[in-house]
Structure 1
Amino acid sequence: MELGGAGIEMDVDMVEELGADAYLYGRIVSGGCEMDQSIVARVDGRGPPERGSRVRLCPTPGHLHFFAVDGRRIPG
C-alpha cells in the first residue's frame, strides 16, 4: 500500500519496522468514526507514520488479501 491519496483511512495502533518495509496495525475509519474492522498494511519502511496517527492508504491492485473472522483467507 502507498501512504496518502484517496483511499482507506486508518488509525495506527502499532508500527512494526522491518528494514525496507513497515507493517501498520490498526482500525479502519469511516466517516470520521473508527469501525470494528482491523487492518494490517505493509508500507515503505523509510519514514513510516507514528503510532496514534491517522493515515490514508492507497491500495495496490492485486496486492490485497482479505480474511474471515476465523482467520481463513477469503478468495478474491
Structure 2
Amino acid sequence: MQFIRITRRRFYYEFFKRMKNWNSLVIVTGEMSEKEIEESTLGYVTDGIIHLTNKEKCKYHTLDGRNHIIRTCDNR
C-alpha cells in the first residue's frame, strides 16, 4: 500500500510540474469522496481544490496560509 501511495504522489508531482511549464490555466476534474480528498496529497501540488456536493447545511472555513477550504456539514 505504501508503494502505491508513493508512486501516486510522484505521478501527481511530475504531472502538475509539467502543467505549470505550459504557462496556461489547466483545470483537472475528477470524482473523490471527502475522505479521499482529506487523505490525498493533491493539496500539496495544486493551487486549490473545489469540492462540489449536494449536501445542505454546510459551513465553510479557510485555512490561513493555504489555498484550502474546509467544509463541515450537518448530515441531519
* Fold agreement, TM-score > 0.5: no
- The structure richer in strand per residue is 1
Greater relative contact order, per chain length (Cα 8 Å cut-off, separation 6+): 1
Question: Structure 2 length as normaliser, TM-score?
Answer: 0.27
Greater gyration radius:
2
Question: Structure 1 length as normaliser, TM-score?
Answer: 0.27
- The structure richer in helix per residue is 2
